Amino acid sequence: MTLMDIDLSQWHALMYIIGEVTVLFIIGVLLASFVLVVISLYSIKKGHLYFPRLIKAGLVFLEGFMKAFFRLLGLEDREMLTFLIKIHNTMNTSAFSRVPISERAAFFPQCLRSAKCPAHLTPEGLKCVNCGQCTVGEARILLEKLGYRVFIIPGSSFIKRMVKKYHPKAIIGVGCLTEVKEGIDMADKIGLVAMGVVTLKEGCVETLVSWQDVYDVATLGLDPASVPEDLHALAG
């Protein structure tokens, strides 16, 4: 039997079907990504998150396509990252609220401290001496009163180290947009419930954060009557 004698019609038919299925799959992925981006953009415009579970699921499977559409439609990277963090926080609010305070940790970036900060770096981050030159020390004391473990850190490697050592089930991460997004992605990979709070000012020295935002996240799931009055003052 020679090659000419072999009936290739069935093989050609199979390849044709595979090609059609592949094309339909690609078209389906593109359409799904486009629909999710439209919903996302509408949410940003209205200031309200629509179909967060659908968008979150889409980001897991179609993140690359969605980011491409975001850029194609003129959405800046900063806006995109802000939206992704908002989605993540919305999806994690319920789970975070159920974690006891004793199993939560908060991570502040060292850039929030005063330029004159006398704190020294230790294996667990900066050792705050509560000198009063910035509000980080006060925030640390108040959150520790609630039951949080609080760390002031120079980099994300400290988060991994402290998580490995103390095994919190939920964390609050404060930082710039890229740091918070990276921290959220890291937490997802290791099974942590994470909430991100983005700083109001970016940089390496004396950045700013809304303590009201930190307070709102830190007290999720708590009885308002159990929250110290001085924490309300910090948030204000």
Pair (121, 197) in one structural domain = yes
In a domain, 85, yes or no: no
pLDDT of residue 1: 46
Pair (228, 155) in one structural domain = yes
In a domain, 193, yes or no: yes
Pair (121, 181) in one structural domain = yes
- What is the extent of the structural domain holding 63? 8-75
Pair (63, 103) in one structural domain = no
pLDDT of residue 219: 94
Pair (125, 201) in one structural domain = yes
In a domain, 84, yes or no: no
- Roughly how many angstroms between the first and final C-alpha of the chain, as a whole number? 88
Q: Which residues pair with 108 in a beta bridge?
A: 152
In a domain, 1, yes or no: no
pLDDT of residue 33: 67
Pair (224, 134) in one structural domain = yes
Pair (68, 146) in one structural domain = no
With beta carbons less than 8 A apart as the criterion, state whether 105 and 147 touch: no
In a domain, 122, yes or no: yes
Pair (129, 36) in one structural domain = no
Gap between the Cα atoms of 54 and 39, Å rounded: 10
In a domain, 83, yes or no: no
In a domain, 26, yes or no: yes
pLDDT of residue 50: 67
pLDDT of residue 3: 46
Gap between the Cα atoms of 201 and 79, Å rounded: 15
From first to last of its 236 residues, the chain has per-residue pLDDT tens of 444 555 556 666 777 677 777 777 667 766 776 777 777 666 656 656 667 666 666 665 656 666 666 667 666 567 777 877 888 888 788 889 999 999 999 999 999 998 888 989 999 999 988 888 888 998 999 999 899 999 999 888 889 899 999 999 999 999 999 899 888 888 988 889 999 999 998 777 888 999 999 999 999 998 887 776 666 555 55
Pair (122, 219) in one structural domain = yes
With beta carbons less than 8 A apart as the criterion, state whether 181 and 84 touch: yes
Boundary residue ending a domain (29, 47, 75): 75
Pair (217, 105) in one structural domain = yes
* Domain count across the chain: 2
Q: Domain with 228 in it: what CATH number?
A: 3.40.50
Residues in the chain: 236
In a domain, 87, yes or no: no
